[in-house]
Amino acid sequence: MAEQKYVYTTHATEADPRKLDSIESVVNEHAREGWRFVDTLEKDGTTVGLVFEQER
């Protein structure tokens, strides 16, 4: 079995368009820690989370 190349983490978001600045700061904070934004988690068409990956 191959060794896992990436690890993943998620961050819950609020469905409030007025909080886009806070989402941007979350993405930037994760990027400074070496995480790369890769996808969103959605429920009923609303983004409820962000998915980040990092090489092991």
Number of domains in the chain: 1
Owning domain of residue 14: 6-55
The 8 Å CB, 24+ separation contacts for 39-42 are 41/10
Q: Is residue 1 part of a domain?
A: no
- Check: pTM over 0.85? Answer yes or no: no
Average pLDDT over residues 21-46: 92
Beta carbons within 10 angstroms of residue 50's beta carbon: 20
Pairwise pLDDT comparison (26 vs 22), residue with the higher score: 26
Please check the confidence at residue 41 and state whether its pLDDT lies above 90: yes
Q: Is residue 49 part of a domain?
A: yes
